[in-house]
Amino acid sequence: MTKSQFVAKLAEQSGLSKKQADTVLTEMVGMIIGAVKKGDSVKIPNLGAWKKRKTSARMGRNPQTGEPIKIPARVKVRFSVAKSFKEAVLGAKK
């Protein structure tokens, strides 16, 4: 589903115009980015959570030469899918 398809569906189901739905989606994404950038986690029930995560420095290998290389520490963004979302999409685990 593309953004325009998503916006059209959101507008149809919420009673908003397409322009309003696009604005809502754009603002929501901007708010998530801003919060995660500050270091806060953002949780949306039945969808998942975004948060910053620090990784430590480690040793790795160049896959072509096998030569050891140092991988520096860095900060990454992590998205964790909600359990209810996984169960709805993949079915309940037995």
pLDDT at 19: 96
Beta-bridged to residue 59, according to DSSP, are 70
How high is the pLDDT of residue 93? 74
Start-to-end CA span in the chain (Å): 30
Does the structure show a pLDDT above 80 at 12? yes
Same domain, 53 and 91: yes
Which domain range does residue 21 map to? 1-40
In angstroms, what CA-CA distances link 12 with 5, 8, 85? 11, 6, 22
Q: Are both 18 and 50 inside the same structural domain? A: no
Task: Examine the domain organization and report whether 28 and 49 are in the same domain.
Answer: no
pLDDT of residue 79 exceeding 90, the answer is yes
Same domain, 29 and 46: no
**Which residues neighbour 88 within 8 Å (Cβ) at sequence distance 6 or greater?**
46
List the CATH number of the domain containing 82.
4.10.520.10
CA distance 75 to 55: 6
pLDDT band at 94 (very low <50, low <70, confident <90, very high): low
- What is the tally of structural domains in the chain? 2
| Residue 49 and residue 33 share a domain | no
How do residues 24-63 score in pLDDT, each as one tens digit? 999 999 999 999 999 999 999 999 999 999 999 999 999 9
Rounded to an integer, the average pLDDT of 79-90 is 94
Q: Both 28 and 60 in a single domain?
A: no
| pTM reported for the whole predicted model | 0.80
Q: Does 58 lie in the same domain as 23?
A: no
The answer to whether residues 50 and 81 touch, using CB atoms and an 8 Å cutoff, is no
Give yes or no: residues 51 and 90 share one domain: yes
Residues 29 and 65 grouped into a single domain: no
